[in-house]
Structure 1
């Protein structure tokens, strides 16, 4: 305590907030297209890295899963009007799908004589080929969805650009097809999943939870791509036009796979151009982070009232991040733009939404004005209609997806450790 220092926390140092008034749209919900969105599909993921056995603390096994939950908003609202809730009707209003994947993340290798980096590379290639998203008439592997994201709706790419992972090789942007290929210079085997560059974050000594998190965010994006494309192909003028796709977290890709940001932006904007309306309706909901903390503080001090929408432009970003260079914010990671909304029931929601054209952020500050986001009114409408008390400032679709994807604490960890021990052959009879 004798060495206590004072630090600046923007969310706790609100002084004069009058400068924010020009950036707030009052009664933003009144402009919402009530009833346009009748269903929502939310996607959330969860991961866990577990030590495999006592005495081998360096050996870690990683589990992750991503859940997609479909919610019939109209059926949910109908139950609100009933004196007694019908659990059968509510159960029929929700449908879900789950994709689970696992791999050794540290201290264990696919075979003798390979590094942990190459072990990850081979594991990702195998995982993307074997794991499929199976829901209704959809049955596509993660690999096929990865090629689809790099192509255009209805027309997957035929190859992905891969940088050779060999340390001594300088070959870049090598076209690699679905079957993989050899580097033309050093003959190292290349996989299509090398384009994600997740292996670049893998370390020899560590838990490698970070690259597993990168993998999970990629899978969540591919799930959204697959489900949106399914509706676009099979019900473009009906379900596709009245369904909101929700990501738990921002519409962003962090770390080595960040180049997928531009692919996602281009893909969904092409999908919008080929649709009769303004679909696809896509947003990301952020429960935590610096913007969420700042937004909660604004609501607590009544700077934001119910129905208010705050435009998070460069000036607001500068105040939140304490940065003198807010122009660069989000340009390399986000494919949606942040807004802050205080719902009509008082919840404070930070969300990202897709621009109709161009990038949401760029070196000139991007597109901050709400007019660049025609799906914004429909997103606000769903936020107002689906308030949830399952977590602070929550909405029902994300709450349902989280409950489906989350690993149980305690017993769940023990079960995963036992499973990992058997998968790695480190049980009682293992060596």
Structure 2
């Protein structure tokens, strides 16, 4: 690693380029067969499948943002992570009417949007709260307290209640891998290695001689990725990820508790990123899938047997890059490869051969996804990588790809046509709006948050 301000010369670059070992490695690397394209996938034109009679009149968009900020605690590298997750309720009917009266009045358009957000700061390296023994135990406590305090309706269940409903679906095999969060933090280990760690609900105490506090949220295992002496951006990103995904289930469970499931006939949820949970809390993906299955069946009673509509949208990554690459321009046809308003339904075989190479027999994303992907080129030519949820076992069979395995595919395609934005390439307006509510300006945000952190530290 260079010193600050130190620039590299060109000699190492020349030497690396001419190194025989590197040339040999590049020559041995597998190269994708460019003849394999989306033409091998099931292709669905929007006009060929019948949409439901319920056109969404409201979209709930969810996006998050996180930024690490250095704070002054007297210890080097002290850091906190500011995390915000925004959900924006967009009245599509009003937006459509305004769209007919172009140019649209920005003030009136803003009235079609109602934002909500979760905003919090989390301890990172060398930040200790209250009487906790470490930054790691401080993070665990603050995460639990946040989820206990957040709720979408004042008289509804908390985000912690939602999470603990999902905790009931946690596979037992994951508990075998989990150790007490205090393990290894003392001169003597705080738990007998022969005993299995068992999660409980709410806050409770370790049964060992130390009797330290434990939390139901410890099952997320986010604290296991925490570095005691360097930045913890990956930890803060995992927290943002679980808050975004939990918020989907939280909204649906609260609607169920209120007896308002009928409104799901006219509501769509659009989430930034794929319908998946990665990293330490990946088990949550299975739990969300199970709970969505239950909620969907409960909703059908009030929606004329219509599935709920949830769409995950990827902005970047291997799938986005692949879709962009294969939709190249063909001069003789004077058009791109993929026709407008056409979806390609991805299979496990296609993904492993063309996007994320693998020879594993386990289906792609088996332990991390609670939905499956498809490519869609909208009416305006935008290229989108979308995910629709697994709402029954048949949807999970990635060996094949039929429209019936993608719940409300026709409605999703129609909605994506409506939501495309010209503000950014291949973007959706609800995701842009949610991101604007959630994002913290990188430079200005750091200065403001650093100042706020310093003031708070002085008062402690």
TM-score by length of 1: 0.86
Deviation at 1:228, TM superposition (A): 1.9
Question: In 2, Cα distance between the equivalents of 1:378 and 1:184?
Answer: 54
Equivalent of residue 119 in structure 1, options 138, 146, 154:
138
Q: Is the 8 A contact 1:336 1:352 kept in 2?
A: yes
Q: Is the 8 A contact 2:199 2:219 kept in 1?
A: no
Q: Could you say which residue in structure 2 is the equivalent of 1:282?
A: 310
Question: In 2, Cα distance between the equivalents of 1:334 and 1:367?
Answer: 17
Alignment of 1:345-424 (within 5 A): 345-358=380-393, 365=398, 368-424=401-457
Residue 39 (1) aligns with residue 58 (2):
yes
Alignment of 1:204-223 (within 5 A): 204-223=228-247
Question: In 1, Cα distance between the equivalents of 2:436 and 2:244?
Answer: 15
Higher strand share: 1
Q: Could you say which residue in structure 1 is the equivalent of 2:180?
A: 164
Question: In 1, Cα distance between the equivalents of 2:74 and 2:202?
Answer: 40
SS of the residue corresponding to residue 393 of structure 2 reads coil
Q: Could you say which residue in structure 2 is the equivalent of 1:260?
A: 284
Question: In 2, Cα distance between the equivalents of 1:278 and 1:225?
Answer: 18
Q: Could you say which residue in structure 2 is the equivalent of 1:21?
A: 39
SS of the residue corresponding to residue 274 of structure 1 reads helix
Question: In 1, Cα distance between the equivalents of 2:317 and 2:217?
Answer: 29
Specify whether residues 205 and 223 from structure 1 end up closer, same or farther in structure 2 by C-alpha distance, changes over 3 A only: same
Specify whether residues 177 and 231 from structure 1 end up closer, same or farther in structure 2 by C-alpha distance, changes over 3 A only: closer
Q: Could you say which residue in structure 1 is the equivalent of 2:345?
A: 311
Q: Could you say which residue in structure 2 is the equivalent of 1:190?
A: 214
Specify whether residues 421 and 142 from structure 1 end up closer, same or farther in structure 2 by C-alpha distance, changes over 3 A only: farther
Deviations 1:144-190 (A, max 9, x none): 221233359xxxxxxx9775222443333524122423236874432
Q: Could you say which residue in structure 2 is the equivalent of 1:141?
A: 158
Residue 177 (1) aligns with residue 196 (2):
no
Residue 334 (1) aligns with residue 364 (2):
no
SS of the residue corresponding to residue 377 of structure 1 reads helix
Residue 228 (1) aligns with residue 252 (2):
yes
Specify whether residues 366 and 252 from structure 1 end up closer, same or farther in structure 2 by C-alpha distance, changes over 3 A only: farther
Question: In 1, Cα distance between the equivalents of 2:390 and 2:281?
Answer: 21
Q: Which stretch of structure 1 is more off in the superposition, 118-127 or 166-175?
A: 166-175
Residue 106 (1) aligns with residue 129 (2):
no
Equivalent of residue 272 in structure 1, options 286, 291, 296:
296
Q: Could you say which residue in structure 1 is the equivalent of 2:265?
A: 241
Runs of 4+ deviating beyond 6 Å:
none
Deviation at 1:229, TM superposition (A): 2.2
Question: In 1, Cα distance between the equivalents of 2:259 and 2:265?
Answer: 8
Specify whether residues 253 and 269 from structure 1 end up closer, same or farther in structure 2 by C-alpha distance, changes over 3 A only: same
Structure 1 gap segments, 5+ residues each: 153-159
SS of the residue corresponding to residue 256 of structure 1 reads coil
Q: Is the 8 A contact 1:149 1:225 kept in 2?
A: no
Q: Is the 8 A contact 1:228 1:280 kept in 2?
A: no
Question: In 2, Cα distance between the equivalents of 1:55 and 1:188?
Answer: 26
Question: In 2, Cα distance between the equivalents of 1:179 and 1:55?
Answer: 31
Question: In 2, Cα distance between the equivalents of 1:46 and 1:337?
Answer: 24
Q: Which stretch of structure 1 is more off in the superposition, 250-259 or 173-182?
A: 173-182
Question: In 2, Cα distance between the equivalents of 1:382 and 1:227?
Answer: 20
Query: Would you say how many aligned residue pairs link Structure 1 and Structure 2?
Result: 413
Larger radius of gyration: 2
Q: Could you say which residue in structure 2 is the equivalent of 1:323?
A: 358
Alignment of 1:86-101 (within 5 A): 86-101=105-120
Specify whether residues 213 and 367 from structure 1 end up closer, same or farther in structure 2 by C-alpha distance, changes over 3 A only: farther
Q: Is the 8 A contact 1:50 1:62 kept in 2?
A: yes
Residue 298 (1) aligns with residue 331 (2):
no
Q: RMSD of aligned C-alpha atoms?
A: 2.9
Question: In 2, Cα distance between the equivalents of 1:126 and 1:236?
Answer: 28
SS of the residue corresponding to residue 424 of structure 1 reads helix
Equivalent of residue 150 in structure 1, options 163, 167, 186:
167
